[in-house]
Amino acid sequence: MKLKTILLAEDSPMDVELTLEALQLHHEVIVVEDGVAALDFLHRREKYANREAGNPDLILLDLKLPKLNGLEVLAAIKKSDLLKTIPVVVLTSSKEQPDLKTAYELGANAYVVKPVVFEKFMEAVRQIGQFWANLNETPPVTPGAPSGLHG
């Protein structure tokens, strides 16, 4: 069985490393370091113009991203007919009400605050991957659109 693909938009290399620690055994993880790169990847342009067609199965989105922040990326994803069915889980340090509220208003599928304690963090990320990438079913994308990374 092919591994499910997760797009991780995270600028902190240490967080990337820790997240990969939790996910890479069971998923294929693509890492982008800023908001523009995330959208470039999703729309297959610039340096990702030649990537294999298809959407990732899950997007893990940090809010504090350089260039375009997480909320802006989220808004762009949910506005796009091709991308809006991809589950987006916001994974951030911010517990603030305004961030939570805006994220859900923009159409985030889940909002998870990164636990400080490593075991809890690992557990949380693993569960997210397990549920959203493996268990959750998404509707088929609009006809004519790329069918998926794995064809």
Partner 1 sequence: MVSIKGLFSSSSTRKAAGPDTPFARRFRNVSSALGWALLAGCLVEAVLWILSKNSPAAESVFDWFPHQPLAAFACFSLIGVGVLSVQKIPYTTRLFQFAAGVLIILIEFFSVTLGAGGVWGMDRLTAWVVLLLGFILASGGSRIPLIGYIRQMAIFAVFFLCALVLAGYIYEGEDATGGLVAFLHIPWTSGLMGLVAGHALLLQHPNFGVMRVLSGEGFGSAVMRRLLPTTIVLLLLLGWMLAIGEEMHLYPASFGESMYAVLAISGFSGMLVTTAIYLNRLDGDRVSQEAALRRNQQQLQSILDNTTSIICMKDLEGRYLLVNKSFCRAVGRTKGECVGKHVRELFSPEITEGTLERNRRALERGEAIEAIESISSSPETPARTFLCATFPLLDATGFPYAVCDVYTDITDIKRQEEEIQHLNQSLREKTRRQEAANNELEAFSYSVSHDLRAPLRHISGFGQLLSQRNKDILDDKSRHYLSVILQSVDRMGALIDDLLAFSRASKVDLSWKRVSMQETVEDVRTELESHWAGPRVAWDIGHLPEVEGDPAMLRLVWVNLLSNAMKYSGKNPVPRISVQCVPNGTEEDVFSIVDNGAGFDMRYVDKLFGVFQRLHSSQEYEGTGIGLAMIRRILERHGGRIWAESSVGQGASFYFVLPTTKSAADKALEA
Region near partner 1 per CB under 8 A, out of 48-56, 72-80, 94-102, 128-136: 94-102
102 near partner 1 (CB under 8 A) = no
Tell me if residue 17 falls in helix, strand or coil: helix
Compute the least distance from the CB of residue 123 to partner 1, in Å: 12
93 near partner 1 (CB under 8 A) = yes
Q: What is the token pair recorded at 33? A: 């370091």
Compute the least distance from the CB of residue 126 to partner 1, in Å: 14
DSSP 63-89: SS-SSS-HHHHHHHHHH-TTTTTS-EE
Instruction: Write the CA distances from 95 to 39, 40, 79, 98, integer angstroms.
Output: 25, 28, 25, 9
| 101 contacts 71 by C-beta, under 8 angstroms | no
Total residues binding partner 1 (CB under 8 A): 17
Q: Which of 119, 139, 140, 151 binds partner 1 (CB under 8 A)?
A: 119
Q: What is the token pair recorded at 3? A: 């591994």
Composition of the chain by helix, strand, coil, percent to 5: 40, 15, 45
Q: Which of 49, 116, 137, 151 binds partner 1 (CB under 8 A)?
A: 116
Q: Which is nearer to partner 1, 93 or 109 (CB)?
A: 93
C-alpha 111/C-alpha 105 separation (Å) is 12
81 near partner 1 (CB under 8 A) = no
94 near partner 1 (CB under 8 A) = yes
Q: Which is nearer to partner 1, 119 or 137 (CB)?
A: 119
25 near partner 1 (CB under 8 A) = no
Binding positions for partner 1, rule: CB under 8 A: 12, 14-15, 18, 21, 93-97, 114-119, 121
